[in-house]
Amino acid sequence: MSLGTGDSWLHREGSIDATDFVLGWAYPIAVVVLVGIGSFSLFGYSMSDVLWSATGAEVTIAWVVALLCLGGAWATNRAGEGFDDLDMIEQGAAGGAALLMIGIPFVPALNDLVLSSDSIGAVAGMILTGAYALLAYY
């Protein structure tokens, strides 16, 4: 099977590749926990466990996993490309996800807003998941 010019097992343009498949199982679990609409624990550790806390900011296992998955999707699919290469919808998804990823643990008011309602949490989860899908598929 030929992957085509410039394609490899790490990145296949216009499809989900091996890296995205491996990271893709952990990301939605982390997002569901991060936005407060679900819980997940494995081997006695909950993804909502706080790793670091200071002056209202809390970094959880879910946030670290989600950040690593987004970073991995970016590094294997979009690394080196600028924000200007994205169309308007892609910029909105990427920008919204960046704001949520930074804001949820470090802006107490945003954290309270997202965690206060399952509906708001679900919308935040959709934005974050859409950004991952955008990065993984590109």
CA angle, 20 then 78 then 66, to 5°? 50
- C-alpha distances out from residue 17 to 24, 71, 76, 124, Å: 10, 15, 9, 25
> pLDDT by residue for the chain (138 residues), tens digit each?
444 445 555 555 656 677 788 888 899 999 999 999 999 999 999 999 999 998 889 999 999 999 999 888 877 776 556 666 677 877 788 888 889 999 999 999 999 999 999 999 999 999 999 888 887 776
pLDDT given for residue 3 in this prediction: 45
pLDDT given for residue 136 in this prediction: 78
pLDDT given for residue 15 in this prediction: 61
pTM greater than 0.95: no
> What DSSP state is assigned to residue 60?
E
pLDDT given for residue 1 in this prediction: 42
Residue with tokens 């206060």: 116
Q: Which two tokens stand for residue 137?
A: 């598929």
- Residue 94 neighbours by CB under 8 Å, 6+ apart: 83, 86, 131, 134, 135
pLDDT given for residue 7 in this prediction: 56
pLDDT given for residue 122 in this prediction: 97
